[in-house]
């Protein structure tokens, strides 16, 4: 957990706020307890490898990798490190966002600091030192199947920390060694076990899922407030939010969302001119947003578990006399298998698609003079001579189509690979990165709707009667001028999205 505004201690697992903070320079502290765990695990590994007699086979330390586990690895430990990382340099595509790369490395640092991966204290301290700078590895997007961890992307990150490949410093891409030198960082020196521990986890998947979840949650909150502002501007009766009605529905998310929306519409005065029943995009909003709340609760649980979990293979448990396992054990298994995040990210994609649909449909309603209480078409000040929100509404349709196209579940796409060693894979990395991209588009859809609501007030919609809705509208008015005459609105959509991201509790 964060202990100050700019310092993170490894005494407990990072949360998603810590991941976001890691995008900027941050002091990461490796405390004495972490050092003790690391030293104990390292000594245990050394004893297994160099003690009397023939020690046990330890994947990655004494063996080849993946399907080649049945063959001996390289005898020299530095060579074994190179052997681990060199063959994974097969990624392609554009570089991942710095936010994801640094968040992933923060998760990797915390996982390794638990002392069950056998890495040295120096490795963790060197990783921690990176966060005090703007250094960020250049990591290609494509190449992971989310099993055996995010092998290829984490290999690129590790190589950059060794001074190989490319990295960014202050946002500028350059050779990794040049970036390390300019940042005042020493290259990582690794053996085979260190190298494998750095790549054999789901840190990229977990980071992208956590960051996407936060963004979708922000849009979910925004849509509650925007729906209330829409209903107030149009003069809708708030009966669709009735507490007894939503309790009868039986779903806790709807009850929770309904309570928030009633608070936002406290003091609203219906116009009395609306139809008996509003379109579903208003009347069923608490049921839709409530179902999203319930689904997001599941995603929250997976993200929390992944942030606090150790994803690696094998794990080394030194044991102690206190618990009867004085000799310790090395356990080979599958804690690198990103199935939970794959399911969660796919569910997040479904939630994103339906929230995006709601925002787009509400904007369509708002721009349609047949349904918007007689406001001009496209909310244009002088229709024909001006076009108001026509371009924004068109772009919103394109955003939603892109979200829908990408909402196909990735976790059902398992393909065998690695000579059938990896005969089932979760594709969690694809699910997570796709959800991260979709969350950005959802934020833009919310910004587009907010811009429409701001313009509606300019072209004749009534003043909101609920104080909370009026406050939101006033904030939008202060941030964004009216559309009169026509102008490019891309920056205004982004400005509205930024305002919404920090609006409300």
Question: CA-to-CA distance for 375 and 280, rounded, in angstroms?
Answer: 20
Alpha-carbon span 364 to 379, nearest angstrom: 11
CA distances from 444 to 213, 405, 456 (A): 16, 17, 18
324-330's contacts with Cβ under 8 Å and 24+ in sequence apart are 328/44, 330/48, 330/56, 330/58
With contact defined as beta carbons under 8 Å apart, do 207 and 191 qualify?
Answer: no
Alpha carbon distance 149, 197 (integer Å): 10
CB 30 within 8 A of CB 125: yes
Burial of 224 from C-beta contacts in 10 A (0-12 / 13-18 / 19+): buried
Q: Tell me the helix, strand and coil percentages in the chain, rounded to 5.
A: 55, 10, 35
Strands (E), 324-427: 329-331
Secondary structure (3-state) at 185: coil
Contact 202, 149 (CB under 8 A): yes
CA distance 223 to 261: 10
E strand or H helix that includes residue 4: strand 2-4
Q: Are 206 and 306 in contact, with CB atoms under 8 Å apart?
A: yes
Candidates 293, 221, 225; CA nearest to 265 is 225
Q: What is the C-alpha separation between 112 and 351, in angstroms, rounded?
A: 33
* 436: annotated active-site residue: no
Quick one: how far is CA 450 from the chain centroid? 23
The active-site residue out of 59, 156, 168, 436 is 59
**CA-CA distance, 69 to 418, in Å (whole number)?**
11
* 362 Rama sector, left if φ>0, alpha if ψ -120 to 50, beta otherwise: alpha
Beta strand pairing status for 2-4 and 7-9?
antiparallel
DSSP string, 445-456: HHHHHHHHHHHH
Catalytically annotated residues: 59
């Amino acid at each position: 957990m964060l202990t100050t505004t700019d310092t993170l201690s490894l005494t407990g697992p990072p949360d998603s706020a810590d991941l976001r903070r890691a995008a900027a320079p941050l002091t990461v502290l490796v405390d004495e307890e972490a050092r003790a765990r690391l030293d104990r695990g390292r000594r245990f590994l050394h004893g297994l490898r160099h003690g009397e007699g023939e020690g046990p086979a330890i994947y990655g330390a004494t063996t080849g990798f993946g399907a080649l586990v049945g063959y001996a690895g390289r005898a020299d430990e530095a060579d074994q490190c190179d052997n681990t990382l060199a063959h994974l340099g097969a990624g392609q595509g554009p570089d991942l966002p710095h936010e994801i790369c640094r968040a992933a490395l923060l998760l990797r640092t915390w996982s390794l600091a638990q002392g069950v991966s056998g890495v040295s204290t120096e490795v963790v301290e060197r990783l921690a030192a990176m966060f005090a700078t703007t250094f960020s590895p250049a990591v290609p997007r494509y190449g992971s199947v989310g099993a055996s961890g995010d092998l290829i992307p984490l290999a690129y990150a590790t190589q950059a920390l060794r001074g190989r490949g490319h990295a960014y410093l202050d946002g500028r891409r350059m050779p990794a060694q040049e970036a390390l030198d300019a940042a005042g960082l020493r290259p990582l020196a690794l053996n085979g076990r260190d190298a494998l521990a750095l790549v054999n986890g789901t840190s990229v998947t977990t980071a992208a899922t956590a960051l996407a979840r936060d963004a979708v949650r922000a849009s979910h909150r925004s849509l509650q407030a925007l729906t209330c502002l829409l209903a107030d501007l149009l003069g809708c009766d708030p009966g669709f939010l009735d507490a007894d009605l939503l309790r009868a529905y039986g779903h806790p998310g709807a009850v929770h969302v309904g309570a928030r929306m009633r608070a936002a519409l406290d003091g609203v005065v219906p116009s009395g001119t609306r139809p008996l029943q509003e379109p579903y995009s208003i009347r069923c909003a608490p049921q839709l947003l409530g179902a999203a709340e319930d689904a997001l609760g599941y995603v929250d649980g997976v993200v929390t578990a992944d942030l606090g979990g150790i994803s690696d293979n094998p794990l080394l448990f030194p044991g102690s006399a206190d618990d009867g396992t004085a000799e310790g054990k090395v356990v080979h298994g599958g804690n690198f298998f990103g199935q939970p995040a794959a399911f969660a990210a796919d569910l997040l994609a479904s939630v994103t698609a339906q929230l995006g649909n709601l925002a787009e449909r509400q904007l369509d309603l708002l721009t349609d003079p047949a349904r918007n209480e007689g406001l001009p078409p496209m909310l244009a000040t002088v229709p024909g001579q001006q076009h108001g929100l026509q371009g924004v509404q068109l772009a919103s349709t394109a955003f939603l189509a892109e979200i829908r196209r990408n909402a196909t579940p990735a976790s059902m796409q398992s393909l065998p690979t690695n000579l059938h060693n990896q005969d089932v894979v979760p594709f969690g990395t694809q699910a997570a990165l796709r959800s991260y991209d979709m969350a950005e588009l959802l934020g833009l859809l919310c910004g587009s709707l907010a811009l429409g609501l701001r313009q509606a007030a300019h072209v004749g919609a009534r003043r909101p009667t609920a104080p909370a809705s009026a406050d939101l509208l006033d904030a939008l008015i202060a941030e964004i001028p009216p559309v009169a005459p026509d102008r490019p609105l891309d920056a205004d959509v982004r400005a509205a999205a930024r305002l919404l991201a920090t609006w409300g509790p």
